[in-house]
Amino acid sequence: MEAIVAAIVGAVAGIMGGWVFSLLEDRRAEERRSRRELAASAFVILDRVFKLQAAAQHSLEKQLDDEFWFLGADLDRYRNAIADNRKARAEHWPVYEQLRTVLREHDMELMNRLEGPLRRIAGLSSDV
């Protein structure tokens, strides 16, 4: 009888241990995916900032308007990535709110000041 109980307890412990390990691995994988999505979204916005800067520098009004339009869609993706990552909200939400101001007011000066934080978030050094 003791052997049967020991076998049952061992089997349950093995199943539960595997389940807990799997759950933890799934959570870690989701956190990695979420961090990648945040970095990718910031990278896309940083690229948009470079395009906006170039259009402004060369006084290309149509291209500037187009790039601001595309920035809106990029910000939607960034907002969704922030929403998927509770740990990163405190760092990313202020940047997102400032980018919304850039979009709403076409504030090139504020956009230029956000280049450094966006580079850091995208995983690039500030001197790239």
pLDDT tens digits for range 22-80: 766 777 888 888 888 998 999 999 999 999 999 999 999 999 999 999 999 999 999 99
Q: Structure pTM? A: 0.74
- The type of residue at 46 is L
User: Which own/partner pairs from 47-55 qualify as long-range (CB within 8 Å, at least 24 positions apart)?
Assistant: 48/74, 49/111, 49/112, 49/114, 49/115, 49/118, 52/108, 52/111, 53/108, 53/111, 53/112
For 74, phi and psi rounded to 5 degrees?
Answer: -65, -40
Q: What is the pLDDT of residue 61?
A: 94
How confident is the model over 96-106, as a mean pLDDT?
95
Q: Report which DSSP code applies to 98.
A: H
Q: What is the pLDDT of residue 128?
A: 44
Q: Report which DSSP code applies to 124.
A: -
Q: What is the pLDDT of residue 30?
A: 83
pLDDT digits (tens, 9 = 90+) for 69-91: 999 999 999 999 999 888 888 88
Q: What is the pLDDT of residue 32?
A: 87
Q: What is the pLDDT of residue 92?
A: 92
Length of the chain: 128
Q: How confident is the model at residue 114 (pLDDT cuts 50, 70, 90)?
A: very high
97's CB contacts (< 8 A; 6+ apart) are: none
For the record, the structure tokens of 74 come out as 């990029």
